[in-house]
Amino acid sequence: MKNVIIIGTGSFTRELYSYLKDANYEIIGYIDIQENNFFDLKYLGNEDNFDKKLI
């Protein structure tokens, strides 16, 4: 199983999320400008301050 970090929370990202879940990918969390309630995923920070050990 491959691990994935989602970047952004726009409409395309919602489609991507659905695809990844159906394809059994492990979604670690998401990176976005600000934290929001995005499918109950873990907020990993924004593009300037996320934990780079995750990639």
Query: Is residue 2 a part of any domain in this protein?
Result: no
At residue 55, the pLDDT reads 63
Q: How many structural domains compose the chain?
A: 1
Return per-residue pLDDT of the chain as tens, 55 residues. 799 999 999 899 999 999 999 999 999 999 999 998 878 899 999 888 877 776 6
Query: Is residue 38 a part of any domain in this protein?
Result: yes
At residue 4, the pLDDT reads 94
Closest-CA residue to 1 (of 24, 21, 28, 20): 24
Structure tokens at 19: 């695809």
Residues 6 or more apart whose CB falls under 8 angstroms from that of 39 comprise 17
Query: Is residue 4 a part of any domain in this protein?
Result: no
Query: What does the alpha-carbon distance between residue 26 and residue 24 come to, in Å, rounded to a whole number?
Result: 6
Domain enclosing residue 17, as ranges: 12-48
pTM score, whole prediction: 0.81
Query: What does the alpha-carbon distance between residue 31 and residue 54 come to, in Å, rounded to a whole number?
Result: 11
